[in-house]
Amino acid sequence: MYEDKELTCKDCGKTFVFTAGEQEFYAEKGFQNEPQRCKECRDARKNASRGAREYFTTTCAKCGGEAKVPFQPREDKPVYCSACFAEMKAQSEE
């Protein structure tokens, strides 16, 4: 039904492929316009609008190691490093 199409990015001018799968996804979502930017330019545009994310360094409440988090830690709530958080999440899903 759908076939891959080559499109030209309006930002960088490079050609990119609008795959049959992407076209099907666009149709399912009701999108009527084809993408105008390649993936790299879309990602760059998204990241530019978000701005730089600030990270805070604190101590992991479980292992005592360093934890970097994208929010200001509070004294009344424990903060975990990525490894401990993933471990706790995996245990809760079992």
The rounded distance, in Å, linking the Cα atoms of 83 and 64 is 12
Bridge partners (DSSP) of residue 57 are: 68
- The string of DSSP codes covering 62-92 is TT--EEEESS---TTS----HHHHHHHHHHH
Bridge partners (DSSP) of residue 15 are: 8
Domain boundary assignment for the chain:
5-50, 56-93
Predicted local confidence at residue 52, as pLDDT:
73
**Percentage of residues in the chain having pLDDT higher than 70:** 99
Confidence of residue 48 (pLDDT cuts 50, 70, 90): confident
Q: What's this model's pTM, rounded to 2 decimal places?
A: 0.52
Task: Identify the CA nearest to 67 among candidates 54, 78, 57.
Answer: 57
Tokens matching residue 82: 């990525």
